[in-house]
Chains A and B, each alone.
Chain A
Amino acid sequence: MLTLKTWIVQALFIFFTTESVGELLEPCGHIKPESPVVQLGSNFTAVCVLKEKCMDYFHVNANYIFWKTNHVTVPKEQYTIINRTASSVTFTDISLLNIQLTCNIRTFGQIDQNVYGIRIISGLPPEKPKNLSCIVNEGKKMMCQWDPGRETYLETNFTLKSEWATEKFADCKTKRDIPTSCTVDYSPVYFVNIEVWVEAENALGKVTSDHINFDPVDKVKPNPPHNLSVSNSEELSSILKLTWINSSIQSFIRLKYNIQYRTRDASIWSQIPPEDTASSRTSFTVQDLKPFTEYVFRIRCMKEDGKGFWSDWSEEASGITYEDRPSKAPSFWYKIEPSHTHGYRSVQLIWKTLPPFEANGKILDYEVTLIRWKSRLQNYTVNDTKWTVNLTNDRYIATLTARNLVGKSDAAVLTIPAYNFQATRPVTDLKAFPKDNMLWVEWTAPNESVNKYILEWCVLSDKSPCIPDWQQEDGTVHRTFLRGNLAESKCYLITVTPVYTDGPGSPESIKAYLKQAPPSKGPTVRTKKVGKNEAVLEWDQLPVDVQNGFIRNYTIFYRTIIGNETAVNVDSSHTEYTLSSLTSDTLYMVRMAAYTDEGGKDGPEFTFTTPKFAQGEIEAIVVPVCLAFLLTTLLGVLFCFNKRDLIKKHIWPNVPDPSKSHIAQWSPHTPPRHNFNSKDQIYSDGNFTDVSVVEIEAANDKKPFPEDLKSLDLFKKEKISTEGHSSGIGGSSCMSSSRPSISSSDENESAQNTSGTVQYSTVVHSGYRHQVPSVQVFSRSESTQPLLDSEERPEDLQLVDNTDSSAGNLPRQQYFKQNCSQRETSPDISHFERSKQVSSVNEEDFVRLKQQISDISQSCGSGQMKMFQEISVADAFGLHTEGQVERFETVGTEAAVDEGMSKSYLPQTVRRGGYMPQ
Chain B
Amino acid sequence: MLACLCAVLWHLPAVPALNRTGDPGPGPSIQKTYDLTRYLEHQLRSLAGTYLNYLGPPFNEPDFNPPRLGAETLPRATVNLDVWRGLNDKLRLTQNYEAYSHLLCYLRGLDRQAATAELRRSLAHFCTSLQGLLGSIAGVMAALGYPLPQPLPGTEPTRAPGPAHSDFLQKMDDFWLLKELQTWLWRSAKDFNRLKKKTQPPPAAVTLHLEAHGF
Contacts and interface: CB of A to CB of B under 8 A. Distances in A.
B131 A190 contact: no
Contacts of A186: 125, 128
Contact of A164 (B33, B125, B132): B132
A165 B32 contact: no
B135 A166 contact: yes
B118 to A, nearest CB: 13
B125 A192 contact: no
B12 A166 contact: yes
A684 interface: no
A191 interface: yes
Contact of A213 (B20, B32, B39, B129): B20
A260 to B, nearest CB: 28
A469 interface: no
Interface in A129-168: 164-167
Interface string A230-257: 0000000000000000001001110000
Contact of B32 (A191, A248, A251): A191
A720 to B, nearest CB: 162
A9 B125 CA distance: 73
A252 B42 CA distance: 7
B38 A252 contact: yes
B77 interface: no
Interface in B1-46: 12, 15-21, 32-33, 35-36, 38-39, 41-42
B15 A166 contact: yes
Interface of A is mostly: loop
Contact of A189 (B15, B38, B128): B128
Contacts of B38: 251-252
B132 A165 contact: no
A778 to B, nearest CB: 165
A187 interface: yes
Contact of B132 (A189, A195, A213): A189
B19 to A, nearest CB: 5
Interface centre among A189, A193, A195, A253 (most CB of B within 10 A): A189
A215 interface: yes
Contacts of B18: 164-166, 192-193
B39 A190 contact: yes
A213 B128 CA distance: 18
A725 to B, nearest CB: 154
Nearest to A251: B42
A166 B11 CA distance: 11
B101 interface: no
Contact of B125 (A187, A251, A252): A187
Given A192-B36, A252-B39, A166 B20 contact: no
Nearest to B135: A166
B39 A165 contact: no
A193 B39 contact: no
Contact of A193 (B15, B21, B129): B21
Nearest to B22: A213
A253 B136 CA distance: 18
Interface string B127-139: 0110111011000
Contact of B33 (A191, A195, A213, A248): A191
Interface centre among B12, B33, B125, B132 (most CB of A within 10 A): B132
15 contacts: A164-B18, A164-B135, A165-B16, A165-B18, A165-B19, A166-B15, A166-B135, A186-B125, A187-B128, A191-B32, A191-B33, A191-B35, A192-B36, A213-B21, A252-B38
Given A186-B125, A193-B20, 16 more contacts: A164-B135, A165-B16, A166-B131, A189-B128, A190-B35, A191-B32, A191-B35, A192-B32, A192-B129, A192-B133, A192-B135, A193-B19, A193-B21, A213-B20, A248-B42, A251-B38
The 8 A-B pairs of least Cβ separation, nearest first, read A192-B132, A191-B36, A252-B39, A165-B18, A189-B132, A191-B35, A189-B129, A252-B38
Interface of B: 12, 15-21, 32-33, 35-36, 38-39, 41-42, 125, 128-129, 131-133, 135-136
